Amino acid sequence: MNHNRTLFIMLSVVLFLSFSGPAFATDIIFACESKQDFPAIMGTGKKILSKNPGLAIEATEIICKKIGATFIIKRMPWKRCLKQLGAGKVDCIFTASFKAERQKLGQYPEKDGKLDISRRFSDKSYALYKLRGSPVSFDGTTFFNIKGKIGAPAGYSIVDDLRKKGLTVAESKSTEQDFKKLLLGWIDGVAALMMSGDYYLMTNNEFGEKIEKVSPAIVEKPYYFIFSHQFMAKKDDIAEEFWNAMAELREDTNFKKRLSGYLQ
């Protein structure tokens, strides 16, 4: 191959990459936590499961396909998800309840300048879990017989809720870790997302035999996909399409039926 032909090929490659780069850019970079959050996110670690990866992950794929957006999903600890959203290193995180301070990091779906609950992903309840036979209880307003700490995952909104009620919270890496600490007597109870807590009781014999859920629920909250302010400044039309499609998918009968696949 002569020198001129080699130079021509190299220039062609450079031009191709220069002009085609944006066309191949990922439209949305999502982030979700690296621990399991049944049934939204399944499995633990950076890997996304090929089968039953979680309903939030399935929803992401379905919606991005519908609106014609390319995407990638990164898994990392929840606090890092929040930090990277604020820094604009990821475009969207899921799923998150509303906290006013999180509005500094990103944007929730809105309508007429107010939070648009109709475009949430789901509703989730937090429940209190205790050792069977323990006098710990909750009547819907007040907690009783808690002399030590309540365990809850770090960065979750329930941590602030409990502290506002005067409780001491031991933050952890996961609900599974909290349940292990409860069995060891290190904490008096666990505040967990109800579906996650119930899942662990159902799938772990020791947890199921020794731990029980307290009724009523501590609180119920809507959960959202939050887009970064940096993304909204450039591609707010994509975010709006995504949220609109989310409202439709959440009420879709076939999508609702997908939950049964996670309960088998």
Q: Domain for residue 39, yes or no?
A: yes
Residues 33 and 117 in one domain: yes
- Is the domain of 141 the same as that of 201? yes
Inside any domain, residue 18: no
Task: Summarize the confidence of residues 119-145 as an average pLDDT.
Answer: 97
Q: Is 30 within a domain?
A: yes
Residue 243 included in any domain: yes
Per-residue pLDDT band at 23 (split at 50, 70, 90): very low
Q: Total domain count for the chain? A: 2
Cross-strand bridge partners of residue 188? none
Which tokens sit at 125? 């309840």
Instruction: Return the CATH number at 212.
Output: 3.40.190.10
**43 and 110 co-located in one domain:** yes
Considering the domain boundaries, does residue 40 fall inside one?
yes
Same domain for 111 and 173, yes or no, is: no
pLDDT at residue number 26: 76
262 burial level (CB within 10 Å; 0-12, 13-18, 19+): middle
pLDDT band at 260 (very low <50, low <70, confident <90, very high): confident
In this structure, are 41 and 91 located in the same domain? yes
Closest CA to 122 of 190, 53, 54: 54
H helices of the chain, in order, are 3-20, 55-67, 78-87, 157-164, 175-183, 194-203, 205-210, 229-250, 253-257, 260-263
Residue 237: domain span? 26-121+223-263
> Element (H or E) spanning 2, and its range?
none
- Count CB neighbours of 255 within 10 A: 15
pLDDT at 112: 95
246 vs 24, which has greater pLDDT? Answer: 246
Same domain, 128 and 209: yes
Shared-domain flag, residues 70 and 141: no
Query: Residue 155's pLDDT is what?
Result: 87
What's the pLDDT tens digit per position in 59-99? 999 999 999 999 999 999 999 999 999 999 999 999 999 99
- pLDDT reading at 166 higher than 90: yes
List pLDDT tens digits, range 195-248. Answer: 899 989 999 999 999 999 999 999 999 999 999 999 999 999 999 999 999 999
Contact between residue 172 and residue 178 where contact means Cβ atoms under 8 Å apart = yes
For residue 98, the tally of other CB atoms under 10 A from its CB is 16
pLDDT-derived band of residue 103, with 50, 70 and 90 as boundaries?
A: very high
> pLDDT tens for residues 27-48?
999 999 999 999 999 999 999 9
- Residue 263: pLDDT band (50, 70, 90) is confident
Q: With respect to residue 5, please indicate whether it lies within any of the assigned structural domains.
A: no
Share of the chain above pLDDT 70, in %: 90
Checking if the pLDDT of 142 tops 50, the result is yes
116 plus 232 within the same structural domain: yes
Which pLDDT belongs to residue 70?
96
Asked whether residue 12 is domain-assigned, the answer is no
Same domain, yes or no, for 30 and 112? yes
Residue 111, in any domain of the structure:
yes
Mean pLDDT of 106-122: 97
Residue 21 has pLDDT above 70, yes or no: no
* Banded pLDDT at 262 (limits 50, 70, 90): confident
3-class secondary-structure state, position 42: coil
Shared domain for 91 and 101, answered yes or no, is: yes
Task: Specify whether 32 is located in the same domain as 109.
Answer: yes
Per the prediction, the chain carries an average pLDDT of: 90
233 with 159, same domain: the answer is no
